[in-house]
Structure 1
Amino acid sequence: MQNIHRRTIDAPAADVGALLDQLSSPQDRIWPAPPWSPLHLDAGLTVGSRGGHGGIRYAVTEYEPGTRVRFTFAPGLGLSGYHEFLVTPEGLTRCQIVHTATGRVEGQMRLMWPLAIRWLHEALLHDAFDNIERVATGRLTRQARWSPWVRLLRLRFAPRP
């Protein structure tokens, strides 16, 4: 499985990187919770910290402040691999945010990934990228929309109050 999402943001990489550094903190302005399950890390954004969102568990295994954070999926999840955020500059006033999820699907996840998890994952990422763009630039070019399939899946998998 490999799933890559990217968005160009009309803001300096340092500004977007500063937002990335706030993931899972009380100041986090990019993780889209609600409507998605919040991202929790037991020791904040530091290598070795464990947590996740909803039923997806992982640990921070690499962290370069302002640039990159890699999360390795927890054993037994059915995903063997990692996901990461990376901020790369494109000149002085523009950058790209990239999210990559890569690994091997195992067990029930062989069915769950293509039917449900992938679509929910992509919708969550588009919402997070919307937040990054909105906070970093003060505007949003085009808001992401959930597909009818994602709306249906959320009836089953959405976080409960």
Structure 2
Amino acid sequence: MDVTNIHEREYPVAAPDVAALVATLSSERDRLWPTESWPPMRFDRGLVEGAIGGHGPVRYRVERVDPAGVVVFRFTGPKGFDGWHGYSVHAHSPSATVLRHELRMRTSGWARASWPLFFRPLHDALIEESLDKAAREFGVDDVRYRGPLWTRLLYRVARRVGVQRPRSVAVR
């Protein structure tokens, strides 16, 4: 199954400000990833091309880092996820910028069922909370994403079975 999943939000700030926010991903002072409620994004060497890591049960390697606000990650797990995801910054004007998270992959095997039933609802919630966190960083009064009941239930189950803890990745 081919998957395209895009989330984006516009902020009333210049593109370099949004790019600087993206550059904090996986750092000790991460201002974008919602570590308050989700597994932290961690890499063996920080956010540099070739670094290996991920969050929770999702594994990937850093494929591209561009100071203009582009980071791309290539999936290495779970099995059956073949593709990439990443953030990109798009200036709409000198004072309006869109932050986009895009995921494109082909699923196979068990992932054909686990993506729509388990991973997608949790992924959508995580990314929406990431965009909410960015909004708060820029002083935008934004509603906190709660997601549908199914997503909230999945999140509770995932936390109980330990999905929130990163596994088998060396952290800096």
TM-score normalised by length of structure 1: 0.94
Runs of 4+ in structure 1 deviating by more than 6 angstroms, as ranges, are none
Q: Distance in 2 between matches of 1:34 and 1:10?
A: 24
In the TM superposition, residue 6 of structure 1 has moved relative to its aligned partner by 0.8
Give the deviation of 1:75 after TM superposition. 5.5
For residues 146 and 75 of structure 1, the distance between their equivalents in structure 2, rounded to whole angstroms, comes to 25
How many residues are treated as equivalent by the alignment? 159
For structure 2, the 5+ residue unaligned runs are 166-172
Offset at residue 140 of structure 1 (A)? 2.4
SS in 2 for 1:90: strand
Question: SS at the partner of 2:33?
Answer: coil
Question: What are structure 1's unaligned runs of at least 5 residues?
Answer: none
String of CA shifts for 1:13-51, please: whole Å, max 9, x gaps.
111100100100011011101211110011111100110
Give the structure 2 partner of residue 69 of structure 1.
71
* Equivalent in 109, 117, 123 of residue 107 of structure 1: 109
Letter in 1 for 2:140: R
- For 1:24 and 1:41, how far apart are their aligned partners in 2? 7
Amino acid across the alignment from 1:95: T
User: Are 1:44 and 2:54 matched, yes or no?
Assistant: no
CA RMSD of the aligned region, Å?
Answer: 1.3
- Taking only the aligned residue pairs, the percentage that are identical comes to 36
Q: Map of 1:5-154 to 2, 5 A cutoff?
A: 5-74=7-76, 77-136=79-138, 138-154=139-155
TM-superposed CA distance for 1:9, in Å, is 0.9
Deviations 1:116-153 (Å, cap 9, x if unpaired)?
A: 100000000000000111102x1323322221111110
